[in-house]
């Protein structure tokens, strides 16, 4: 049987939520990943050392039996240098949301005034704290990410030593930015390597393929695949796995978010094998992130095998992508 081994897989964009949902989903990520960059968009957002530490403790309490490092992030606000100096050792990155752009982002940035942000971003630059960005404007849904490129350019030019990560990119426009500024990086989800808008609304309307940013055009999918499959050194895997209850997904006014954490590695094997690029998956799913973030995850070896795997209908009421469908790779063992 064909197998493929991944060492220390990392999910560099992960929503673990809180409370019962946290208890449900965190063990699923901890099972197959060495670590994950945990998003701070709780209600209220994670914006202090106290709430950060408490959230990390709540995460760790859900995974007593696995090695898993929750790389913590802070919700971006215009913090001062003293605060950032004190919190730097406890965080891996700061996550910036434009206000109101996605789930629980109401307290985000409402205008990109460089002078208002300068103290924070210069301090982050000096302290080596990367800035992760949800890069969408409030424009027309298919244009939001492309329109945001001017903000990335503004940030990249003004803070040349700040590592800026374009999160969950979905467009050729974002891919084209990677080689334009040395301090721009990107995460790519597994679902954006599989879907276009056709899979959301091209046939029936499919709530479990509905996420922000929305899956875009075929030429965008091709651009994402090109850099992911080559494991472009500035690109990392980040699932943006975003669990919601079945009720919230399968009703009128469905919430945005695709739940992929428990099947992400299997799907990545399937995609990379399909394009004969399995040899690049290790870099995409771990090595690049280690280099970009300067992190050293604990040892974990995940062996996947090529065999039909029936994706569960749901995980305690959370419906995953490809629910009840057969995919072609499965996890064989984890050490």
Catalytic site positions: 240
Q: Which stretch binds a second copy (CB under 8 A): 9-17, 47-55, 86-94, 139-147?
A: 139-147
Smallest Cα–Cα separation from 120: which of 152, 156, 85, 167? Answer: 85
Does 201 interact with a second copy (rule: CB under 8 A)?
yes
Structure tokens at 142: 């298919």
Q: Which stretch binds a second copy (CB under 8 A): 21-29, 152-160, 211-219, 226-234?
A: 211-219
- Are 85 and 123 within 8 A, CB to CB? yes
Q: Is 244 annotated as a binding residue?
A: yes
Does 272 interact with a second copy (rule: CB under 8 A)?
no
Q: Is 4 annotated as a binding residue?
A: no
Does 191 interact with a second copy (rule: CB under 8 A)?
no
**Cβ-proximal residues to 50 (8 Å cutoff; 6+ apart), any chain:** none
Does 256 interact with a second copy (rule: CB under 8 A)?
yes
Q: Is 41 annotated as a binding residue?
A: yes
Q: Burial letters for 233-250: b for 16+ Cβ neighbours within 10 Å, e otherwise?
A: ebbbbbbbbbbbbbeebe
Structure tokens at 112: 């990109």
Compare residues 7 and 206 and give the one whose CB is closer to a second copy: 206
Does 137 interact with a second copy (rule: CB under 8 A)?
no
What minimum distance in Å lies between the beta carbon of 256 and a second copy?
7
Q: What are phi and psi of 217, to 5 degrees?
A: -90, 165
The Cα–Cα gap between 93 and 164 comes to: 10
The residue ranges that bind a second copy (CB under 8 A) are 140-142, 196-198, 200-202, 204-208, 210, 214, 217-218, 249-256, 319
User: Binding site: what residues are annotated?
Assistant: 13, 15-17, 41, 95, 134, 168, 240, 244, 256
């Amino acid at each position: 049987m064909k197998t493929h081994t991944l060492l220390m897989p990392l999910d560099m964009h992960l929503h673990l939520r809180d409370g019962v949902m946290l208890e449900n989903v965190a063990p699923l990520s901890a099972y197959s990943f060495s670590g994950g960059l945990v998003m701070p968009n709780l209600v209220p957002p994670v914006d202090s050392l106290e709430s950060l530490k408490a959230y990390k403790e709540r995460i760790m309490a859900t995974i007593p039996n696995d090695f898993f490092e929750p790389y913590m992030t802070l919700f971006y606000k215009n913090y001062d240098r003293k605060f950032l100096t004190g919190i730097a050792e406890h965080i891996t990155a700061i996550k910036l949301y434009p206000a109101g752009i996605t789930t629980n982002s109401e307290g985000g940035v409402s205008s990109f005034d460089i002078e208002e942000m300068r103290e924070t971003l210069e301090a982050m630059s000096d302290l080596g704290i990367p800035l992760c960005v949800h890069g969408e404007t409030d424009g027309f849904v298919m244009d939001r990410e492309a329109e945001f490129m001017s903000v990335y350019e503004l940030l990249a030019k003004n803070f040349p030593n700040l590592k800026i990560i374009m999160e969950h990119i979905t467009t050729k426009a974002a891919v084209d930015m990677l080689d334009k500024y040395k301090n721009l990086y990107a995460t790519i989800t597994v679902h954006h390597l599989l879907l276009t808008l056709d899979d959301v609304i091209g046939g029936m309307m499919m709530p479990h393929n509905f996420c922000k940013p929305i899956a875009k055009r075929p030429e965008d999918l091709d651009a994402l695949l090109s850099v992911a499959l080559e494991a472009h050194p500035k690109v990392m895997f980040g699932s943006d796995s975003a669990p919601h209850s079945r009720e919230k997904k399968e009703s009128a006014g469905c919430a945005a978010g695709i739940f992929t954490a428990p099947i992400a590695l299997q799907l990545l094997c399937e995609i990379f094998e399909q394009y004969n690029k399995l040899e690049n998956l290790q870099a995409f799913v771990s090595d690049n992130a280690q280099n970009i973030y300067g992190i050293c995850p604990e040892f974990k070896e995940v062996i996947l095998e090529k065999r039909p795997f029936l994706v569960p209908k749901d995980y305690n009421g959370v419906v995953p992508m490809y629910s009840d469908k057969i995919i072609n790779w499965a996890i064989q063992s984890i050490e």
